[in-house]
Amino acid sequence: MKYNILFLCTHNSARSIIGEALAATHKSGRFIGYSAGSTPGTQVNPFAREIALSLGVPESRLRSKSWDEFGRPDAPKMDFIITVCDNAAGEVCPVWPGNPVTAHWGFPDPSQVQGSDDEKRRAFREVMQGLLRRIDALAALPLEKLDAMSLQSELRRLA
């Protein structure tokens, strides 16, 4: 079984894009990755784009999206919704169809790092590695055997 997982961040230009890319390309094949934001930006951050492309995500999938797209009745039903920035975690989210399991996996915003391109890439890689560790741990769980309350607890424990 594949699980739909939506990563949320305010502008959907960096952390949530990386989360989507990691889930969509995860070695377990257990996830379909999505991302969105409350106030999406006009473009994906170039360092997040670089990571997503290196993971094999098609260029055509890389765009900043509003979370409203995923609150519509015809949207894919999400199994998991994970906020990756503190701002998005504190906002009033749409009503998600299907009562998905939610959690906050906060990471510092790598797009705020000042310095050389190498320093910026390092910040993006750190977020990528942190998200990958959590996605690996999520994939290792017996998801099909856990009830909603247990899933909620496990997802939050991974934070």
Task: Report the catalytic residues.
Answer: 9, 85, 93
**Helix, coil or strand: residue 31:** strand
Q: What are the phi and psi torsion angles at 41 (to 5°)?
A: -75, -175
Exposure string (b/e) for 46-72, b if CB count within 10 Å is 16 or more? ebbbebbeebebeeeebebbebeebee
What CA–CA distance (Å, rounded) separates 157 from 83? Answer: 14
